[in-house]
Amino acid sequence: MTYGDMLNKLSKSKFRNSFHLKEKDIKYISEKGYEKIKEHAYDFVNKRLAPFHIPNDGKQTPMKGHPVFIAQHACACCCRGCLEKWHHIPKGRSLNKKEIDYVVNLLMLWIKKEYEHL
């Protein structure tokens, strides 16, 4: 499945499709640029999603406060349960580099589509 196919699949979920960037998120992206946002995405994914053990799994991603957080919910990359259900990346182990890259690339594609839509 391509990134576009996955975003299309996610867009059919009423819950996942309810997430959108707000004006403050757009302003933040404009100020920081895509590369800085991508750095933040890698940082968040590596710290909050990739480890083997996540003490607060299912509650580790805020619902607001950063464009990447919004993207994580929209793309079902907010916790290991959603990652397993939607992306078939199993829980119970650390994410590998390929999986981390996949998540970050999906998040960035969603962010760019949202940014360009407004």
Domain layout of the chain by residue ranges: 3-117
**Residue 49 confidence class, pLDDT cut points 50, 70, 90:** very high
pLDDT of residue 55: 82
pLDDT score of 74 more than 70: yes
Residue that is written with structure tokens 């590369």 in the block: 35
Phi and psi dihedrals of 81, rounded to 5?
-65, -45
| Residue 3: both structure tokens together | 């990134």
Percent of the chain predicted with pLDDT > 70? 99
